[in-house]
Structure 1
Amino acid sequence: MTGHVIAIDLSGGCLQGSLHANSTLFQLRQLQQLNFAYNDFNGSIPSPLFNHFVSLTYLNLSGSGFSGLIPHEISLLSSLVSLDLSYSSLTFDATGFDRLSRNLTKLRNLVLEGTDMSGVSVASFSNLSSSMETLILGTCQLHGEFPSEVFSLPYLKHVELAWNENLTGYLPKTNLSPSLVSLDLYYCRFKGSIPSSFGNLTQITLLDFTQNDFQGEIPDVFENLDKLTILKFGSNNFSGQVPTTVFNLTQVTQIDLSHNRLEGTLPNHVTRLQFLQYLTLSNNLISGGVPVWLFSLPSLITIDLSYNKLTGPIGQFQKPNSVMVIDLSFNDIQGPIPSSLFDLKNLSSLLLSSNNFSGVIESSMLSKLENLYDLQLSNNGLVSLSSSNDGVNYSFPQLTRVLFSSCSVRKFPSFFRTSKVEVLDLSDNKISGGISKLEAEGWEGLNMLNLSNNFLTSLEQIPGKYLQILDLHSNLLQGPILSTWFNLPPPNPPYLSLLLISENKLTGNIPSLICNWTSLVVLDLSKNNMSGTIPECLGNYSYGLQFINLQVNNFHGKIPDSFTNNMLKNLLLNDNQLEGSLPRSLANCTSLEVLNLGNNNLTDTFPHWLASLPSLQVLILRSNRFHGSISNSIASSNFSALQIIDFSQNELSGPLPANFFRNLRAMKDAPKEKLPGSYLFKTDARVRYVYQYYQSPVNVTMKRLELEFLKTLAILTAMDFSNNLFTGQIPEELGDLFSLQVLNLSHNSFAGPIPLSFANIVALESLDLSSNKLSGRIASKLTNLTFLAVLDLSKNELVGPIPNGNQFSTFDNVSYSDNLGLCGMPLSRQCSTAGETRPAPPAPMVREDEDFVIPFIWEVVMMGYGCGTVLGLSFGYIVFTTGKPWWIVRIVERDLQTKFTKW
């Protein structure tokens, strides 16, 4: 090479290694263009690259493999017109980029996508060359307010700031560059409104403002934007009417205005939009009908109008187009599905769930849609499937997903059995009868089957070879179904992850062969009539089993003491007839989060050894025979995750140790907002899918009712030690459990005052201290509990006035009954001026026919007694001497009639 070389292009040359400062490359002082893009260099960019090439106008190091800090000497390339440093592990600091923006006055193209600019002040961009045409800054970790004057650079054509989620800013109301061809602000935090001057961008082809904080109305100024091909304003805060001029764009291929608050109706007629491929207006407030022109546009591929307020029937249409995806779900569309919809030959996804469609869908209609793979019609209560053509062999070669829950299906449609369906949901229908072994064998590709909430009586065999989820809960299945399944080959469905057969009429025991289902994550046989003992193998089951729910059955015997599964998260064996002690091998289940063994016949002492389980959040052992005291020597880290504890209706005794409450850190923390079940997503995709489908129930006695919660771990904290033999004072440390919502210590022998610290439990909603031996006054500070909805302090030895204010003004006298020393509202006993109880005055007498009260005092009683005696003797004399005086009888009858009428 000689010094007269002016251009080198080694892009994609598979070059490796480092570029050293003594390379002969740096002797080419006349070099004007250098392209090292898409190679595999390592190390940093050598400074001589910038020192020696003073004539360089074009530099492309995109994807070259260089890393580290970009040398400040880059600002010496004063002749540079185009600079591309994208897709490398390079970093700009504040000084380096500030110098670049000030010194490279001829720069027209700046491409820095993927470089680390987190240390750069975005104010530096206001110094960019006025000749700038292309500015690509996507995924640069920019933050702060982007200078709006950049959008006014006179020659600016292309701006991309996408994927800078901490970058804010505003668009200028005027002086937008008339040369703009593309403006991409995807996933930033720009705000403000869209200026009406957008109507002057006659060269614009792409506008992408998806996922920003823009607001206000979208100006209806698109009539002259004839070159616009992509318009994406989704996921903002736009409101007002859908701009009508959008539907007059002649070149547009994508329109996305989804996830805003746009209103209005869609136009009845459209003559343009000939090139429109994707129309996404979902999650808005659009009303009116579904225009039929949507199904005739020649280029349309996707129609998404879901989650709006569309109404009315869909009319028939001519000239069906090539649309592949139709999503009209979650609207209020009525009437039958138009038959012309089934003439859309290319349709692959038809999503009409959660509307008010009606009518019958014939299998012959569906058979026209040969490319259909996703059919969703759930939550259309008046839609049914016809079985009239079941004798015909229809083929559905592509159909893989059918969601038909909460409709009016009465008979299982046989045409689904002959298809290659993978996901089938017919839950919440009226399907009765059974599914034979032959029918079940037809589902070769099925991996999810939901037939819950129907009237099925039998399922002779688990369908399909690849089934992962089988949900049959809330049917009429009866008999020893599990034993029947295991008597048929093959006994081992290799992929079954969820088996849900709760709330049926199953009998028999659990076959030990169930432990051969090694992929099982959830086993729910709850609320049946099953009996026998729990198989020993369930304790040392495959590592994948994480939910065991056998509650509300008739299982007896001991709980297996063979737990070795450290993946087990939920164990629900409550409401059975189990006996013996708590198996100590549960201490091996270090991932255990929910343990419910309530309502059995277990006999044991307080299981302090469970405190070593770091994730235990729910512990329910109510209605058993646990006895003895709670140990006072509990380590500081024990039960730290516990949010619900229920030991009610046992035989525990002695005082409640203060140490126990000091350790309950989860009850001290303020309630945190968490995604339901988010604490579970720690394993592979198959398991995560099961978690999203299944929610384990937890029963909690709250506000005098036993409630079943499906989402508790993020929202509820409760403690119930009621109906035991506890003595001593209630520990003040209970008041440190700031997030506690339910506290029940009733029916014990606690003595002493109600702790003043209870006023600190600001989240408390239900407090029951009834049937103890508590004494002293009710502290007025307890009125600070503004969420308190249920209070029961009855049957104690409390004295003094009842506090008034906030929630305490809503409680009736039942909350305080059988405390002879209490006084004040709502009790009838008044308090003396010293705050002590004085005898309650007699209740006033009320005349039923008048609205006034006569105080019931003894003077009036004695006067009435005397008068009554005289009148009584007089009336008696009259009756005996004159017979039945009609006028007295008429008065008495009229008075009685008045009283009965008022009652």
Structure 2
Amino acid sequence: MNSLGTSSTTKDAEFDRLTSLTHLNLSNSGLDGQIPMGINKLINLVSLDLSKRYVNDNSDISFNESDDEIIFTGDSYNHLQESRLMSLVENLSNLKELYLDHVDMSTNVDDWCKTLAQSVPRLQVLSLDGCSLNTPIHHSLLRLHSLTVINLQSNPGIAVNLFPDFFMGFANLTVLRLSHNNLEGWFPDKFFQLKNLRILDLSFNMNLLGHLPKVPTSLETLRLEGTNFSYAKRISSSNFNMLKELGLEGKLISKDFLTSFGLIWSLCHLELLNSELLGDSGSNLLSWIGAHKNLTCLILSEFDFSSTKPSSISNFKNLRSLWLFGCNLTRPIMSAIGDLVDLQSLDMSNCNTYSSMPSSIGNLTNLKSLYINSPGFLGPMPAAIGNLKSLKSMVFSNCEFTGPMPSTIGNLTKLQTLEIAACRFSGPIPYSIGQLKELRALFIEGCNMSGRIPNSIVNMSKLIYLGLPANYLSGKIPARLFTLPALLFLDLFGNHFSGPIQEFDAVPSYLMSLQLTSNELTGEFPKSFFELTSLIALEIDLNNLAGSVDLSSFKRLKKLRDLNLSHNNLSVIMDDEGDNSSSTYLSELKELGLACCNITKFPSILTRLSDMSYLDLSCNKISGNIPKWIWEKWSSSVVHLNLSHNMLTSMEVASYLLPFNRHFETLDLSSNMLQGQIPIPNLSAEFLDYSHNAFSSILPNFTLYLSKTWYLSMSKNNISGNIPHSICNSSLLVLNLAHNNFSGPFPSCLMEQTYFRNILNLRGNHFEGMLPTNVTRCAFQTIDLNGNKIEGRLPRALGNCTYLEVLDLGNNKIADTFPSWLGSLSNLRVLVLRSNRLYGSIGYTFEDKSGDHFPNLQIIDLASNNFTGSLHPQWFEKFISMKKYNNTGETISHRHSISDGFYQDTVTISCKGFSMTFERILTTLTAIDLSDNALEGSIPESVGKLVSLHVLNLSHNAFSGRIPPQIGGITALESLDLSSNWISGEIPQELTNLTFLTVLNLSNNQLEGKIPESRQFATFENSSYEGNAGLCGDPLPKCASWSPPSAEPHVESSSEHVDIVMFLFVGVGFGVGFAVGILMKTSWINRWFHSAVSRQRT
């Protein structure tokens, strides 16, 4: 394999000096960018190879069995592009071999067929695998009459309606690879008459038709899986006496086919796709396969082994490679596979097993490669895995292993690649793993590993890649990890490593990528990092580092492309504040994250960078204009731009259509002070957030630029007017236009066409009209229309929204009865219907015992309506989730949506005159508000079963009778408001058990007797009891001077409603209740955004 260095750039190469060169092979040389122009001056070239050739798709470390060589391929691939094929080949008339596999030609403006036919007439080998060619294949290619090898696979842009039969004109053709090209039509039978044809690969062209006629005896490889071929009944294996590799669709296989086809004695490699279509022919197939004694590689997909006898597997004794994809495997079959002792490669991906892995796998002592990606393996990983002492590559992914990782892994002393991901282990990483002295790649991700990094790992001198992300590892990071002699990549993302990073001697160090994001690291930024001169990527965001970092300190890191210091406690010193303003350090930078780094202006180094793809300057103190050079210099390169949570006031733009490239994904300008018209990328971005600004308008036709947008938020601006109906044609998953001045009829289409939309938030606008009745294919998880002018009835079709978690229609003009029919929505957690014109009772049909009503509801707010009647004694019984303790403190998550992490639901509840807005709803927050209605009768005793309830507001009704003593069993209760009713009797002593109670309002009732004195009651003031002339005791007058009063009418208490954003913490001990907290969210990949704290008078 070649190596010109992993940061090689093609502009530096001076190939035009090598004019006598005949063979140039730069495949996998780490080249990046445009193909060097100098190559087109090598007029004597006979062979040119600039390919990116994937050695192993499963790992960045590949194993070459022929020479026992391990190759690191992850960053040595070429990443080349070519927009003018003619410029490359116009002078290469002597070229006979051209390999440009995976060179990006998506922007090529030349007709590639005509260009090649004109420029390289002597061409014999043409390989353009995966080049994103975008013009159809043309018969002009036939002018290259010397072609013997054509590889055009994985270029769907070359497809034509009919299969190009001119390929039959290549009389000398030996290899034709056209897989994955969306080819259609009938494949001509005459093609099989090409006498020199050795390899024919037409696989994965689903609409390509044909059948297997008599084929040339020279054929060695035939790949037809993933096509629509049939077979001729007269076909015989005698036509395939040279065939070594065969790939077929399962639907071709039948008993007749196997009988007529016979045995292919030369067959070594067999692949059968979609074998679930075999039906009863499955057992016949296994017998037919087993009869091929020279078969060494078998690939089966979607095969059902559930009715297969284990003895059928015993016929595969000669197999060296067995790959099973999406198969149903039983434990006996798994055990039988363990008897195939000559296996060298075993791959089981996406198989259904649902059993433990048998210890017989330890019999495969000749196994060199083991790859298992199947979620059905239960129980512990067998210790017998340590018997596989020939293993050089072992990968377990998405398995469900539990218990500790077996220490016998340390016996696999020849292992060079070990990858274990998304398993359910417990306990530490085995110390014995340090015995794997030949290991080049160690990757353990998301496996619940805990404890410290074993000291034995720091002695693994051949380790190239060490990745332990998304575990629960803790303690200090061993300083020796940074100086392992061969280490190129270190990834410790998402653990609990803590303490300062110890300084170390960085010479020599070849470390290229250092990922320490999302840990608990403290102390100052280590100066040793400034000496890691080979670094290309350094990410240490989302930690607790403190102190200052001068950007000029990175001047020795000349290869650095990715730097992320975001979300620490760092203060970044800008380059133009020191003596280095004229230097060109960080000149290769492509990605920069400086969120929450206390910077006050745009770093001047950005003006020198022309190819930035990622910039995050959010959560700083940058004020003034967004400079125009952002749009001018990076329009063709930037993918992610986050300038949110600053103090920006304006933008320097020539047009409010921003000139970004087609790869642009994210624009976040939220939480600034930007005014005027909202800017829109001229080519659709995926994520757009303009919330919390002072924008006042948007392009009338802005919906034309949302074709790829899934997230759009313009909440909390000053935008007015109607929403164009065309917005309904977008593919938005999240639409948040809350708290603006939009008006006009409610856009019904936003709810009628909902099979893809997850979040609809139009809260706090001026929409009028009624909700649509034909809500079909509903995928909503949040509908928030609070604070509009919507009237009419609640559409019964909302009962079809089975994913719905939050429904907030409060503060509208809806006139209807209580929607008990929503009770069947098992995912519904928040129901807010306050301040409407709802009427009637709020009971259920309790005679219906068929199922639960609102089983997961945690917030129900029906305040300020016209509900009447009494509550059924079992009314509170239906809230199943409130009857259970929930101390997880998790946020309501949209499990069926990728919107979670970017959108947070908001709910406002009332407590003692305060309107409290929760910007993020925790699963621990439970509340019932039935205040300000005309409910009567006694309060049901069943309320005492809601042990996880935090807020109960039944004020301003006509409830009578006594306070249920069972309320004292709601030990989580923090706010209780029963004011302004006709409740009588004494305050139950059981209420003193409410040690978390911080808000109590029993005013304006007919209570009497002595106020309880113990615990929480000692903290409440007169206002909690006023209007009950019969009450006495602290803080009211002592009971000795008390005399029974005459009944007085209710006096409605008027208190100012102050909107405060609060966060509910359920603590331990006396007086722990509501605590104010400002929430934070950050940006796009693994970063949260700052949420805004809003104040709104209700």
Q: Tell me, yes or no, whether TM beats 0.5.
A: yes
Q: 2:421 aligns to what?
A: 186
Structure-2 change in CA distance of 1:34 and 1:188 (3 Å):
farther
Q: CA deviation at 1:373?
A: 1.0
2:648 is equivalent to residue 431 of structure 1: yes
1:707 alignment partner in structure 2: 916
Q: Summarize the alignment of residues 269-308 of structure 1 with structure 2, pairs less than 5 Å apart.
A: 269-274=505-510, 276-287=511-522, 290=525, 300-308=535-543
CA contact (8 A) 1:51 1:73 kept: no
Secondary structure at the aligned position of 1:758 is classed as helix
* Contact 1:325-1:349 at 8 Å conserved across structures: yes
**CA RMSD across the alignment:** 5.0
Change (3 A) 1:358 1:796: closer
Structure 1 residue aligned with 2:76: none
**Equivalences for residues 381-420 of structure 1 within 5 A:** 381=620, 407-418=621-632, 419-420=634-635
Q: Equivalents in 2 of 1:463, 1:51: separation in Å?
A: 57
CA deviations over 1:574-604 (Å, ceiling 9, x no partner): 557x5xx94126445554765656556x595
Q: Displacement, 1:415?
A: 1.4
Partner SS for 1:746: coil
1:570–1:535: structure 2 CA closer, same or farther, 3 Å change rule?
farther
2:402–2:424 CA contact under 8 A, matched in 1 = yes
Answer whether contact 1:534 1:560 (CA < 8 A) is retained: no
Q: CA deviation at 1:781?
A: 4.0
Deviations 1:62-103, CA, capped at 9 Å, x for gaps: 34775424532267579x5865332345455444544665x6
Aligned match of 1:73 in 311, 316, 330?
A: 311
The answer on whether the counterparts of 1:64 and 1:88 sit within 8 Å (CA) in structure 2 is: yes
1:35 to 268, 286, 299: 268
Task: Give 2:282's aligned amino acid.
Answer: S
Structure 1 residues 473, 838: CA separation in 2 closer, same or farther (over 3 Å shift)? same
Partner of 2:440: 205
Do structure 1's residue 458 and structure 2's residue 676 form an aligned pair?
yes
Q: How many angstroms does 1:570 deviate by?
A: 6.0
Q: Distance in 2 between matches of 1:112 and 1:469?
A: 38
Does 2:751 align with 1:534?
A: no
**Cα offsets for 1:237-283 (capped at 9, x unmatched):** 33333334434433333322333333452544323343x44332333
Q: Considering only CA atoms, is the larger Rg found in Structure 1 or Structure 2? A: 1
Partner of 1:510: 721
Aligned counterpart, 1:84: 321
Matches within 5 A, 1:601-620: 602=813, 604=815, 606-607=817-818, 614=825, 618-620=830-832
Task: Tell whether 2:472 aligns with 1:258.
Answer: no
Cα separation, 2, equivalents of 1:300 and 1:27: 56
- State the secondary structure of the residue aligned to 1:417: helix
Counterpart AA for 1:111: L
Distance in 2 between residues matched to 1:639 and 1:758, nearest whole Å:
21
SS at match of 1:355: coil
Alignment of 1:124 with 2:359, yes or no, is yes
Q: How many Å apart are 1:61 and its aligned residue?
A: 1.6
Q: Is residue 514–residue 538 contact of structure 2 (8 Å, CA) maintained in 1?
A: yes
Give the direction of change, closer, same or farther, for the CA distance of 1:560–1:77 in structure 2 (3 Å limit): closer
CA distance in 1, matches of 2:433, 2:1016: 56
1:334 aligns with 2:571: yes
CA distance in 1, matches of 2:492, 2:865: 60
Offset at residue 767 of structure 1 (A): 1.5
Question: CA separation in 1, counterparts of 2:336 and 2:995?
Answer: 59
Q: How does 1:149-160 map to 2 (within 5 A)?
A: 150-151=385-386, 157-160=392-395
Aligned to 1:10: 244
Give the 5 Å matches for 1:825-836. 829=1038
**1:605–1:626 contact (8 Å) kept in structure 2:** yes
User: Please, which of 533, 536, 549 is the counterpart of residue 313 of structure 1?
Assistant: 549
Larger deviation, residues 202-211 vs 509-518: 509-518
Identity among equivalent pairs (%)? 28
Residues 286 and 308, structure 1, Cα contact 8 Å, conserved in 2: yes
- Cα gap change, 1:805 to 1:116, in 2 (>3 Å): farther
Supply the distance in 2 between the matched residues of 1:112 and 1:603 (Cα, whole angstroms).
59
* Partners of 2:835 and 2:864 within 8 A in 1: yes
1:455/1:12 Cα in 2 relative to 1: closer, same or farther (>3 Å)?
Answer: same
Q: Where do 1:297-696 residues align within 5 Å?
A: 300-311=535-546, 312-314=548-550, 316-317=553-554, 320-338=557-575, 343-357=585-599, 361-362=603-604, 365-379=605-619, 381=620, 407-418=621-632, 419-420=634-635, 423-432=640-649, 438-443=654-659, 449-459=667-677, 464=682, 466=684, 471-477=689-695, 481=697, 485-486=699-700, 495=707, 500-504=713-717, 510-511=721-722, 513=724, 518-519=729-730, 527=739, 530=741, 534-535=744-745, 537=747, 543=753, 555=766, 559-560=769-770, 564-565=774-775, 578=789, 582-584=791-793, 586-590=795-799, 591=801, 598=810, 602=813, 604=815, 606-607=817-818, 614=825, 618-623=830-835, 643-650=858-865, 652-658=867-873, 661=876, 676=891, 678-679=893-894, 681=896, 688-689=898-899, 693-696=902-905
The change in CA–CA distance for 1:156 and 1:375 in structure 2 (over 3 A counts) is: closer
Aligned length, in residue pairs: 772
C-alpha separation in 1, matches of 2:539 and 2:914: 44
Q: Is the 8 A contact 2:346 2:370 kept in 1?
A: yes
Give, in angstroms, the shift of residue 727 of structure 1.
2.9
Q: How far does the alpha carbon of each residue in 1:46-72 deviate from its partner, in whole angstroms, 9 at most, with x for none?
A: 59859987x979843234775424532
Contact 1:434 1:459 in 2 (8 A): no
Asked if structure 1 preserves the Cα contact closer than 8 Å seen for 2:855 and 2:880, the reply is yes
Q: Deviations over 1:438-463 (max 9, x none)?
A: 43144455775544433344228766
Give the Cα–Cα distance (whole angstroms) in 1 for the partners of residues 772 and 384 of structure 2: 71
Contact 1:499-1:523 within 8 A present in 2 as well = yes
> Alpha-carbon deviations, 1:718-738, whole Å to 9, x = none?
332323443322233444555
Mapping 1:132-171, distance limit 5 Å: 135-139=370-374, 141-148=376-383, 150-151=385-386, 157-171=392-406
Say whether residues 1:794 and 2:1003 are aligned partners.
yes
Aligned to 2:75: none
The change in CA–CA distance for 1:153 and 1:627 in structure 2 (over 3 A counts) is closer
Q: Is the 8 A contact 1:74 1:100 kept in 2?
A: no
Inter-partner Cα distance in structure 2 for 1:215 and 1:416: 44
Partner Cα separation in structure 2 for residue 804 and residue 622 of structure 1: 35
Secondary structure of the equivalent of 2:967? helix
CA contact (8 A) 2:869 2:937 kept: yes
TM-score normalised according to structure 1 size: 0.71
**1:413 Cα deviation from its structure 2 partner:** 0.9
Which structure 1 segments of 5+ residues have no match?
Answer: 2-6, 382-406, 683-687, 841-903
Change beyond 3 A, Cα 1:541–1:298: same
Separation in 1, partners of 2:333, 2:821: 58
> Does 1:113 find its partner at 2:359?
no
Contact 1:435 1:458 (C-alpha < 8 Å) held by counterparts: no
1:327–1:824 distance in 2 versus 1, CA, 3 Å: same
Q: Which amino acid aligns with 1:510?
A: G
